[in-house]
Each structure stands twice: as structure tokens, then as C-alpha cells.
A and B are shown apart, each in its own frame.
Chain A
Amino acid sequence: MGKKRIHREDERCSGCLSCAIACSVFNFDEANPSKSYIKLKIDERKERFHISIDEERCKLCGECIKACYYNALRWEDEAPRS
């Protein structure tokens, strides 16, 4: 059985950083998007976002997925929500 993966869709990302804050609270007891395993690269001028995950360190806890209300994150083996 392969490792679970988190599927990311930059096009749906709103830039809210809820995933990164949730990840850092879960892992470090501090709200800090600079420290989280999921990160956003933000182009502010165009309001575009690129989501990346440090897969080496990620605990696959799913907190980021639960925090995302824009359907930009899901387990790879689950169907996309609309």
C-alpha cells in the first residue's frame, strides 16, 4: 500500500492560510504559517497561490484538509468536492 497523499489545487486556493495555521497549531502548539509543513507561495499582485507540502515532515494528520473551505485540498484517493 502506497503512502497517502494530499492533492492540491492551486486554482481553487483563496489564500486564506487556514491550512498553514492549522498545521502549525497541530504540530508546534503555535499559530505560525512560516513554520507549517504546508506552505503558500503568494503572488499578491495577481492574488495567485501555489500550495506546497514538505512531504518528508508531513504527519498526514489531515488538519490542513479539514481547515480548507475552498476545496483546494483533499486526500488523493477521494473524489473532488464541487
Chain B
Amino acid sequence: MRLLVVDLESKTFEYIMDESLRHSFIGGVGVNTYLMYRFTEEGVTPFDRGNDLFFSPGAFVGTGVPTASRCEVSAISPTGYFGTSNTGGRVGLAIRQCGIDTIWIRGKSESPVYLVIDEGGVFFKDGDLLWGKDTFETTSILKEREGGDTCVVCIGQAGERGVHFASIHGEFYHAFGRTGLGAIMGGKMLKAICLKGQKGIKIRDKRQLKELTEKIRNRLISSDTFGYTRRYGSMVVSDVYNRLGILPGHNYRKGSYENWEETRGRRVFEERYKIRDLACVSCPIGCMHWSKVRDGIYDGYETKGLEVTFALEFGGKLDIQDIPQIFQCVELCNRFGMDVISTSSVIAYAIELFEKGFLKEKDIGFKIAFGDFDSIYKLILMIGRNEGIGNILGKGIRAMKEEFKGSDSFACEIKGVEMPVRDPRGRFDPWMLGLFINVRGGDHLRIRTPVDDLKPFVNDYKYEPLSLKQEAVELLDIPEKIKEAIMGTPPSRIDIVAMTKYGEDYLTLLNACGMCIRPPVLRTIGPSILAEAFNTLFGYGLDDEDLLTISERIVNMAHLFNLKRGLTLGEYRYPERFYSEGIEYSGKTHPPLDRKKVEEMLLRYCELRGWDEKGQVKKETMERLKLWKR
């Protein structure tokens, strides 16, 4: 692997070659995790000059392997823990076209700077005139200046101002959203990176690669989830969430809305807004869309979307009922460079604080309410501009709850990261156990399973029924031993804890390879095909078990990194609300979670991971995964 190390202080750069990184850590999140674990000095805090920022495309990105487009950025998050985020689009390819596998950014610049990188090296350019510009303006200006084919990665004003959930953007619409790494980039005064390389990736055996590409593509399109995913994108699940009563409505107090399907459902999106299909590099699924508003005051407005996350956050959590208004909120977040989930979560928390009298009208300057687009829009503006109450909201829920004593129960964050998109009470599955176990904290994209499903069942904290059709079960690519242990013989139910652990290893592997995690991938692509692809591209003879061992190594390294920074199992929990209140939906109630049973599940997870009951990594696990040193 070829790493580009850029020093923002001395304005110098160098290349490091290290082929061993590929077979020990694969790429993407794997390489970032290793570099952070190995090179972050003791005691470094998020905004210190020693908090390095890493961009690594997954190992298969740019080679044509279907869906391999994803790129990972990592650094210590403003939360103090391991921060990491992923995006698709063309950024990963553009990095590899500069002839490199990782961009490693060190130090802090004294004044705003942007980088221009190509296959020859790095130019450091004055970023003064860009400072203060939003992500759309910055991207447009830099494309104009550096040439239209330049791929631009940048931050908006939120990153410059240190908003704790600031994002990094690639090419307008692709956000590295979660864990606030835009603020870290802003702290380095690094406004943007322009990628201009035109280098190719040498292919060892094009015939073998072609066969493999066709095999992966055929599997993806034979999944029963393929057609729906193309047609609705992530919006495919919008209606189901409402029917199941697992929406995060009004800060997790309303699991469904009577008018959801007519206002924020997948059919409304498809029939009234969607106009074209879009895809990330090398992806035959094409879950993304271009949309147009055709009436009302936003008539003629066009944008990318609608992602279900936007619908569930601004539509679900905050109850904005009009899709064009949801588009406006998202665009504002994109322009400032702020994570949509965290932005809508801090606002939901603020509105509940206001309803309960913790916050007064005079503190804000106006009244705020769920469903009230105007006040919500104004709050987003205030967060992005660090104005008034926006200053407090911009620090995130964990810091806010220190100011509003007595509000912990409904402060919906985990490990400092705001909780996303769905309520665990209506369906406690590996996905929801993973929501507080995964390394990022309150997040839904780091632990998913090949059998992710949304059929209703009564929580029993042990098993989830397996409701996939026989054909879909046959397409699963899970090592036989693991499949039996988790699902029984013949596969009939899912051991939730065991699947959570597997789901974390599996997603880490997909991420390290640069693969997407949409349902057609989850259902058909697993460790054995990934091993085939890895060997085809790099020539190592690794098998599915080797890859899963590498994944475990990555997961454990990130965990060790967090333990060193003070994380304890005490933070592996849902906010109090979820254990003491039920959630209403369609005239019914999902009961609160059973705290004791959830805690038992956590302990069993630790056991399966090879951790002790305090979450410390046991000596034998360290040895098995070669974690002492590389």
C-alpha cells in the first residue's frame, strides 16, 4: 500500500510504502484503525495537533468490483472516542487515482489551507478566500479554479466553527456524516482537498476479475431486495417503520403517524418527486435518486434524495410533514456541513426541553415545536452559524445534558453520539443491540446482519425468528459453522447476541473492502466471495476465516483505542427513557426494554468477543488476534 503523509505545519509531504498493511488490515476502516491505534500518542485530545486525520478507500475501490466505491475517514471524534465515517460516490476512486491508498493528514495549519493532490504530489494553497463559504460554494469555486474533473472534499462553516457533529463532504451530496470529523478537519484549518489524479490501478488478471465481477453482479441482482432497492432506494422501509411503530417521533415518544404513508411514505416519494436513478462508482444497484419538486412554493427545486434517513429524522423525529420542507432542511445541513442525524436529534431534544420548561422562549428568541418547519429551520441556521442557542446545540446532546440537569432520561445519545432513525422498543434485534454496542456509539450503520429484516415479533431477548424465504437463505454467504451456530440446522431462528457479533465483524469487513451495505449486498455477498475478490486483486491466499479474523482484529483495536480514552461498559446503554417508558403507536404501546435482559445480552456479547465482564480485552484474545504489536 502507498500512503501519502501530509504535514500541515511544515507544508511537506512524503510517501510510505507498506505492503504488509494490505494483508493485515485490508484497507478502508482497517488501515485507518491500525494507524490510529499504532501512532496516536497518549493523552492526545480531539482538537490537539496530534489528532491525525485519515482518508482510506476500501481495498476494492476503483477496480470495478460491484458496489466497491466506499471510502472511510477516521480520527479522534470531538466526543473523545474513535471517530469514523464512510461515504460512497466518487471520492474513494479519486483518491486511488492519485496513486495512493491512504491520505494521512498530520498537524495543524496556522491559516486556512486547501490541498491539491495528484499522482505527482501535493500543493498547499491559500484557503483564506474559501473560509466562511458553505460546502456547495466551496466545491463550485474549487472546480472552477482547479478544473471541472477535480473531485472536491471539503467542510462547511460548521466544521470551521467546531460544531461537534460537523461532517465532511465529497462532491456536494456525499457526506462523511457521523462522529463530527468535519470539526477535526476545521480545527486543522484544512478547508478542502482537491483530487486531480488520473492514474489507473493495474489489474493482475483481467479475465479472472471479469468473472468475479459478473458473479458478484449476478448475485446482487438475483436478491429479492434488488428491484425494490433500485426503485425506492433506502425509502423502501419508510412505510414499514410506521406500521411497526418504530419511528423516532417527537424524540422517541411517537412510534407512528396516522398520515405517514400519504405524506412521507415511499409511494409519495416515488410518484411525486423521484425522476432519475443515480449510483456510486461501480454500483449496479443504484439506490440513489434525483428528485424534483413540481408544485407549491418550492416548485422546480431539484436535489438528490430522498434518503430514508432524511425522512426518518426530519420527517419522523421532528414531524415535518412535507417532503419539500425536508429537502430544505437537508440542504441546509449539507451546505453548513453538519450531520443530518445529529442535527435533527439535538433539535428534537431542545424541543422536548422547551416543552418541559428546561428551555424558555427568551433563551431561544422564539417558540419551538415538533412539526413546525419555520422554527426548526431557524434552529438549523443558528447551529450552523454558532448563534445564540445554536451555540449550545452545536456541542451535541452529551454536553447539553450537563447544562440541563434532570433531562438525562430523554437525552438520546450513546457514547456521545446522537441516536439515529429507529426505536429499539418495537423490535429488539441484532441491529438494535448493535446500536449501543458498535464502536461509534448511537449509530445504526456499523452492525447489520445478512438477514436484516423487519417482520414483527415479540421481543424475547434471545432469538429473532428467521423469516427469509428459502431462496434467500440459499443465497446467503456466511461460513457454514457460523451459520449453524447462529441460525441452527436447518436455519430457523437467529441468536441475537451471536448475530450481533458476527454482524459487526461482517460489516467491518465490507467496509475495509470498500463494499456497500445495502440489502442486496448483505443478502448475497459475504466472507467467501470477498476472499475470492481479495485474492484475485492482490494475490494473497486468504480465506473467509482469515478475513473474519482480520475484522475481529480491527474491531478490537478500535475498542482498545476507546478503552484507553476512558470508555467503560457503563456507556453501553440506551438512555433511561427506553427502559422506563413504553412507546405509543397506532393506539397501541410497545413496552419499555427489559434492562436486566439487555445487560445480560451485553455480557454475553463481551464473552463472545473474548472480553471480560468489564469489557477489557482478555490476554488470550490479544494473543489470538496479534494485538500486542503488529
**A16 and B201 in contact, given A26-B206, A47-B304 (Cβ under 8 angstroms):** no
Q: Which of the segments B40-48, B282-290, B565-573 contacts the partner chain? A: B282-290
Q: Number of A residues whose C-beta is below 8 Å from B?
A: 29
Q: Closest Cβ of chain B: how far from A69's Cβ, in Å?
A: 4
Contact A15 B279 (CB under 8 A): yes
- Distance between Cα atoms of A67 and B279 in the complex (Å): 13
Answer whether residue A52 sits at the interface, using C-beta atoms and an 8 A cutoff: no
| Chain A residues with CB below 8 A from B202, complex form | 29-30
By beta carbon, the residue of chain B nearest A43 is B148
Contact B217 A69 (CB under 8 A): yes
Q: Closest Cβ of chain A: how far from B289's Cβ, in Å?
A: 9
B residues 134-153 near A (Cβ < 8 Å) are: 136, 139-140, 143, 148-149
Contact A30 B284 (CB under 8 A): no
Contact B199 A70 (CB under 8 A): no
Contact A17 B286 (CB under 8 A): no
| Chain A residues with CB below 8 A from B304, complex form | 47
Contact B283 A16 (CB under 8 A): yes
Contact B203 A30 (CB under 8 A): yes
Q: Number of B residues whose C-beta is below 8 Å from A?
A: 40
Contact A17 B281 (CB under 8 A): yes
Answer whether residue A25 sits at the interface, using C-beta atoms and an 8 A cutoff: yes
Contact B171 A32 (CB under 8 A): no
Q: Closest Cβ of chain B: how far from A66's Cβ, in Å?
A: 8
**A46 and B206 in contact, given A16-B279, A21-B64, A70-B286 (Cβ under 8 angstroms):** no
- Distance between Cα atoms of A25 and B63 in the complex (Å): 9
Contact B286 A16 (CB under 8 A): yes
Answer whether residue A35 sits at the interface, using C-beta atoms and an 8 A cutoff: yes
Answer whether residue A4 sits at the interface, using C-beta atoms and an 8 A cutoff: no
Contact A18 B282 (CB under 8 A): yes
B residues 536-572 near A (Cβ < 8 Å) are: none
- Distance between Cα atoms of A42 and B94 in the complex (Å): 14
Answer whether residue A45 sits at the interface, using C-beta atoms and an 8 A cutoff: yes
Q: Looking at the complex, which one of B148, B199, B278 makes contact with A14 (CB distance below 8 Å)?
A: B278
Contact A32 B97 (CB under 8 A): yes
Q: Looking at the complex, which one of A21, A34, A70 makes contact with B282 (CB distance below 8 Å)?
A: A21
- Distance between Cα atoms of A50 and B239 in the complex (Å): 35
Count A-B pairs with CB separation below 8 Å: 92
- Distance between Cα atoms of A41 and B62 in the complex (Å): 18
Answer whether residue B276 sits at the interface, using C-beta atoms and an 8 A cutoff: yes
| Chain A residues with CB below 8 A from B172, complex form | 44-45
Q: Looking at the complex, which one of B140, B199, B221, B278 makes contact with A15 (CB distance below 8 Å)?
A: B278
Answer whether residue B210 sits at the interface, using C-beta atoms and an 8 A cutoff: yes
**A25 and B278 in contact, given A16-B283, A32-B198, A47-B304 (Cβ under 8 angstroms):** no
- Distance between Cα atoms of A33 and B281 in the complex (Å): 11
Contact A28 B64 (CB under 8 A): no
Contact A70 B279 (CB under 8 A): yes
Contact A30 B279 (CB under 8 A): no
| Most B C-beta atoms less than 10 A away, residue of A11, A31, A70 | A31
Contact A28 B200 (CB under 8 A): yes
By beta carbon, the residue of chain B nearest A26 is B206
Answer whether residue B21 sits at the interface, using C-beta atoms and an 8 A cutoff: no
Contact A70 B277 (CB under 8 A): yes
Answer whether residue B302 sits at the interface, using C-beta atoms and an 8 A cutoff: yes
Q: Closest Cβ of chain B: how far from A31's Cβ, in Å?
A: 5
Contact B206 A25 (CB under 8 A): yes
By beta carbon, the residue of chain A nearest B205 is A29
| Most A C-beta atoms less than 10 A away, residue of B63, B209, B278 | B278
- Distance between Cα atoms of A31 and B172 in the complex (Å): 25
- Distance between Cα atoms of A15 and B484 in the complex (Å): 40
Contact B217 A31 (CB under 8 A): no
| Chain A residues with CB below 8 A from B173, complex form | 44, 47
Task: Give A29-65 as 1s and 0s: 1 = Cβ < 8 Å from B's Cβ atoms.
Answer: 1111111000001101111000000000000000000
Q: Closest Cβ of chain B: how far from A50's Cβ, in Å?
A: 12
Answer whether residue A22 sits at the interface, using C-beta atoms and an 8 A cutoff: yes
| Most B C-beta atoms less than 10 A away, residue of A14, A25, A67 | A14
- Distance between Cα atoms of A21 and B203 in the complex (Å): 11
- Distance between Cα atoms of A16 and B143 in the complex (Å): 20
- Distance between Cα atoms of A25 and B283 in the complex (Å): 17
| Chain B residues with CB below 8 A from A15, complex form | 278-279
Task: Give B571-590 as 1s and 0s: 1 = Cβ < 8 Å from A's Cβ atoms.
Answer: 00000000000000000000
Q: Looking at the complex, which one of A16, A21, A46 makes contact with B284 (CB distance below 8 Å)?
A: A16
Contact B286 A69 (CB under 8 A): yes
Answer whether residue B93 sits at the interface, using C-beta atoms and an 8 A cutoff: yes
| Chain A residues with CB below 8 A from B64, complex form | 18, 21-22, 25, 31, 67
By beta carbon, the residue of chain A nearest B283 is A16
By beta carbon, the residue of chain B nearest A36 is B200
- Distance between Cα atoms of A28 and B199 in the complex (Å): 12
Q: Closest Cβ of chain A: how far from B518's Cβ, in Å?
A: 14
**A35 and B198 in contact, given A14-B286, A21-B64, A29-B203 (Cβ under 8 angstroms):** yes
| Most A C-beta atoms less than 10 A away, residue of B203, B209, B217, B290 | B203
B residues 264-322 near A (Cβ < 8 Å) are: 276-284, 286, 290, 302, 304
Contact A44 B171 (CB under 8 A): yes
| Chain B residues with CB below 8 A from A46, complex form | 290, 302
Contact A30 B200 (CB under 8 A): yes
Q: Closest Cβ of chain A: how far from B135's Cβ, in Å?
A: 11
B residues 56-94 near A (Cβ < 8 Å) are: 62-64, 66, 90, 93
Q: Looking at the complex, which one of A11, A31, A69 makes contact with B201 (CB distance below 8 Å)?
A: A31
**A31 and B203 in contact, given A25-B64, A44-B171, A46-B302 (Cβ under 8 angstroms):** yes
- Distance between Cα atoms of A45 and B282 in the complex (Å): 20
- Distance between Cα atoms of A32 and B284 in the complex (Å): 18
Q: Closest Cβ of chain B: how far from A33's Cβ, in Å?
A: 8
**B residues whose Cβ falls under 8 Å from a Cβ of A:** 62-64, 66, 90, 93, 97, 136, 139-140, 143, 148-149, 171-173, 198-203, 206, 209-210, 217, 221, 276-284, 286, 290, 302, 304
30 residue pairs bridging A and B, Cβ less than 8 Å apart: A14-B277, A14-B279, A16-B280, A16-B283, A17-B93, A21-B64, A22-B64, A25-B64, A25-B206, A26-B206, A29-B202, A29-B203, A30-B203, A31-B62, A31-B63, A31-B64, A31-B200, A32-B199, A33-B93, A34-B198, A34-B199, A35-B198, A35-B200, A41-B148, A44-B171, A44-B173, A47-B278, A47-B304, A69-B217, A70-B277
Given contacts A11-B276, A34-B198, 5 further A-B contacts (CB under 8 A): A15-B278, A16-B280, A16-B283, A22-B64, A70-B286
